[in-house]
């Protein structure tokens, strides 16, 4: 048994609940005390030197395979600086891609992320012809920062079965969404064992750096016939140090059933096949009014009848359902389908970013204590500061539909997440976006934002018996910090980092990322996901 002493332990149950000592045995909390307990006086003692102690965080929405690949072999086109976005024109993008391509083999697959369309002067993605030139004829894909549009070279179009002749190489909306499995297969085929080992180590290191102990992994590509990469990532994640819970992005129940034997609870959906719409930056989010800059409106990817049928099928089979919806029309569509169910599994709407007054009323009437909304307010915070996509592309009446406190106070289970690799997994940027929300009156307090990464996602993911708070019987996953998080300003929250993270009562040790470390991991007893 270990007795942790000299800490200010924040249980997370409410803002003021603290204690001074915590006993841990076999990775679980067996006691919390205000004064030193006599019955555990002779166990191993570890002083936390007066630091603040918090339950580890939960990122409820991560695309883990892509995050691992980006962490190991990713190439980021644009970066956000205090002065703006660099590069901010196609000439700068060309220079970045040419420089990267020169360092790669002629047979290499190049996957470039974080292209910021709204910040590039030409306001477009590069064409097939440009990528052929810049990439030296290699298979190249460039992803817009929101992950919902892309640009492909001739060789990449061929690899995923699209005839290049007469095609400009730019994919958006459903044309983009419905080839993600094939693109994933191509990218995954170029990942070597050393690259995989590095990516998995980087993923673990990143989680520990931010104090994250559990992730909701949204994986699976319905357009890939065999989708071997999903089988790979499920097999690996069962042996990870951190907890992983999978949401299978299939509307084909037979595809989902291939993995249900590994799941702790049946979960389906997220993005992939379960996207009701696209995104703002790619002009594919479904709103009732047209986009401001183009005058065009995007529709939902499925009819109401199709969504109703899919929801009923999986709900009756016992699955918790998650579905991507950003625009007000998309949120309305999935809500109508979910409100026809009567289970206690807490179905989820991912993003739920724009909500009309009428839909808000329906959300609160049906969803109180039974619906989770999994949001990423850090993205809109970054957009307001640096990208200005929303103000360029959306009408003012749409901007007024951004909700956070209305959902939180209305009894919905509001969860924070990163949508990595669309964004870095940094949870403190997301919490910054909550306490300094795009619509100021919809902002949360620091403690309320913290709950969206602890208590709420634990409940939404049906893991509140093990995660979310520091209580007897739960996992001893916690991090220590110099400052009291609940008293920080918005700016301080954005800069916050744990001093050290503990999993199962043991301090996390940085992973080097070698092949031998990966092989040792594969010898572990597999866990439910």
Same domain for 418 and 293, yes or no, is: yes
Does residue 316 fall inside a structural domain?
yes
Q: Name the domain boundary from 188, 216, 242.
A: 188
Does 363 have pLDDT greater than 90?
Answer: yes
Same domain for 237 and 386, yes or no, is: yes
- pTM score of the predicted model: 0.93
| Per-residue pLDDT band at 200 (split at 50, 70, 90) | very high
Consecutive H or E run containing 485 = none
What pLDDT is recorded for position 386? 86
63-97 core/surface letters (b: 16 or more CB in 10 A; e: else): bbbbbbbbbbbbbebbebeeeebebeebebbbebb
Same domain for 264 and 350, yes or no, is: yes
Same domain for 386 and 460, yes or no, is: yes
Same domain for 273 and 136, yes or no, is: no
| Per-residue pLDDT band at 146 (split at 50, 70, 90) | confident
- Rounded Cα distance between 392 and 414, Å, is 28
- Kindly give, in sequence order, each residue whose CB lies less than 8 Å from that of residue 274, ignoring residues fewer than 6 positions away: 249, 251, 268, 310, 321, 322, 323, 324
Does residue 93 fall inside a structural domain?
yes
**Phi and psi of 14, rounded to 5°?**
-150, 175
Number of domains in the chain: 3
Strands, E assignment, 195-316: 212-219, 243-248, 267-275
- Rounded Cα distance between 353 and 393, Å, is 15
**Phi and psi of 416, rounded to 5°?**
-95, 155
Return the structure tokens found at 485.
Answer: 């998080």
**Phi and psi of 160, rounded to 5°?**
-100, 10
Does residue 371 fall inside a structural domain?
yes
Percent of the chain, pLDDT > 90? 79
Same domain for 466 and 477, yes or no, is: no
Same domain for 133 and 219, yes or no, is: no
| Per-residue pLDDT band at 302 (split at 50, 70, 90) | very high
Same domain for 475 and 431, yes or no, is: no
| Per-residue pLDDT band at 21 (split at 50, 70, 90) | very high
**Residue 132: CATH number of its domain:** 3.10.310.70
Q: What is the mean pLDDT of residues 318-344?
A: 96
Consecutive H or E run containing 234 = helix 228-237
What pLDDT is recorded for position 119? 87
Lowest mean pLDDT among 67-71, 113-117, 170-174, 467-471: 67-71
Same domain for 208 and 308, yes or no, is: yes
Answer for the pair 372, 347: CB distance below 8 angstroms, yes or no: yes
Does 434 have pLDDT greater than 90?
Answer: yes
CA–CA distances in Å: residue 22 to residues 3, 6, 163, 450, 454: 6, 10, 62, 21, 19
- Rounded Cα distance between 113 and 92, Å, is 15
Does residue 265 fall inside a structural domain?
yes
User: 42 is in which domain, residue-wise?
Assistant: 1-55+471-498
What pLDDT is recorded for position 280? 93
- What is the torsional sign of CA 471, 472, 473, 474? positive
Does residue 505 fall inside a structural domain?
no
| Per-residue pLDDT band at 406 (split at 50, 70, 90) | very high
Does residue 118 fall inside a structural domain?
yes
Alpha helices (H) along 272-395: 304-316, 328-338, 357-367, 377-382, 389-393
Answer for the pair 119, 387: CB distance below 8 angstroms, yes or no: yes
**Residue 446: CATH number of its domain:** 3.20.20.140
Does 147 have pLDDT greater than 90?
Answer: no
What pLDDT is recorded for position 267? 97
Lowest mean pLDDT among 100-109, 396-405, 494-503: 100-109
- Rounded Cα distance between 70 and 370, Å, is 35
Q: Name the domain boundary from 434, 453, 470.
A: 470
- Rounded Cα distance between 488 and 481, Å, is 12
Does residue 511 fall inside a structural domain?
no
Q: Name the domain boundary from 188, 218, 238.
A: 188
Does residue 242 fall inside a structural domain?
yes
Does 342 have pLDDT greater than 90?
Answer: no
Does 40 have pLDDT greater than 70?
Answer: no
**Residue 27: CATH number of its domain:** 2.30.40.10
What mean pLDDT, rounded, does the chain reach?
A: 93
Same domain for 123 and 159, yes or no, is: yes
Q: What is the mean pLDDT of residues 297-315?
A: 97
91, HSE (Cβ side, Cα atoms, 13 Å): 1
Answer for the pair 470, 32: CB distance below 8 angstroms, yes or no: yes
Same domain for 258 and 375, yes or no, is: yes
Q: What is the mean pLDDT of residues 87-95?
A: 95
Does 24 have pLDDT greater than 70?
Answer: yes
Lowest mean pLDDT among 13-17, 229-233, 504-508: 229-233
Same domain for 368 and 355, yes or no, is: yes
CA–CA distances in Å: residue 121 to residues 117, 153, 256, 261, 279: 8, 21, 42, 49, 20
């Amino acid at each position: 048994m270990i007795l942790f002493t000299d800490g200010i332990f924040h249980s997370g149950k409410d803002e003021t609940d603290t204690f001074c000592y915590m006993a841990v045995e076999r990775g679980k909390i067996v006691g919390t005390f205000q004064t030193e307990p006599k019955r555990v006086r002779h166990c191993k003692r570890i002083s936390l030197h007066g630091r603040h102690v918090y339950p580890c965080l939960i990122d409820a929405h991560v695309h883990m395979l892509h995050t691992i690949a980006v962490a190991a072999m990713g190439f980021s086109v644009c970066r956000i600086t205090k002065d703006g976005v660099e590069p901010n024109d196609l000439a700068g993008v060309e220079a970045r891609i040419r420089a990267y391509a020169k360092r790669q083999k002629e047979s290499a697959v190049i996957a470039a992320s974080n292209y910021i369309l709204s910040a590039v002067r030409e306001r477009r993605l590069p064409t097939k012809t440009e990528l052929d030139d810049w990439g030296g004829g290699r298979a190249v894909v460039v992803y817009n920062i929101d992950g919902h549009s892309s640009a492909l070279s001739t060789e990449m179009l061929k690899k995923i079965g699209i005839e290049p002749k007469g095609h400009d190489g730019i994919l958006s909306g459903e044309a983009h969404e419905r080839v993600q499995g094939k693109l994933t297969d191509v990218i995954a085929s170029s990942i070597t064992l050393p690259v995989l080992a590095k990516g998995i180590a980087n993923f673990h290191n990143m989680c520990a750096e931010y104090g994250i102990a559990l992730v909701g992994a949204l994986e699976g590509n319905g357009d890939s016939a065999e989708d071997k990469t999903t089988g790979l990532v499920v097999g690996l994640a069962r042996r990870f140090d951190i907890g992983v819970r999978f949401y299978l992005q299939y509307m084909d129940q037979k595809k989902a059933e291939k993995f249900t034997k590994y799941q702790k609870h049946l979960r389906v959906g997220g993005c992939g096949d379960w996207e009701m719409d696209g995104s703002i930056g790619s002009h594919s989010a479904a709103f009732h009014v047209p986009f401001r800059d183009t005058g065009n409106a995007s529709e939902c990817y499925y009819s109401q009848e199709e969504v109703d049928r899919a929801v009923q099928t999986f709900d009756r089979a016992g699955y918790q359902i998650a579905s991507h919806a950003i625009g007000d029309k998309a949120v309305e569509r999935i809500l109508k389908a979910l409100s026809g169910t009567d289970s206690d599994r807490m179905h989820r709407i991912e993003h739920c970013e724009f909500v009309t007054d009428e839909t808000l009323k329906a959300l609160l009437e049906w969803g109180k204590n039974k619906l989770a909304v999994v949001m990423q307010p850090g993205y809109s915070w970054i957009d307001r500061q640096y990208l200005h996509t929303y103000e360029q592309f959306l009408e003012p009446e749409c901007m007024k539909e951004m909700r956070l406190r209305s959902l939180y106070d209305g009894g919905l289970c509001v969860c924070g997440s990163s949508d990595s690799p669309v964004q870095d997994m940094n949870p403190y940027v997301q919490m910054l976006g909550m306490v300094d929300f795009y619509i100021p009156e919809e902002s949360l307090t620091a403690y309320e934002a913290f709950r969206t990464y602890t208590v709420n996602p634990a409940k939404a993911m049906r893991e509140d018996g093990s995660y979310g708070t520091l209580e007897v019987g739960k996992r001893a996953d916690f991090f220590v910090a110099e400052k009291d998080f609940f008293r920080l300003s918005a700016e301080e929250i954005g800069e916050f980092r744990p001093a050290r993270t503990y999993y199962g009562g043991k301090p996390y040790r940085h992973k080097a990322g070698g092949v031998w470390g990966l092989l040792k991991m594969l010898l572990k007893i597999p866990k439910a996901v």
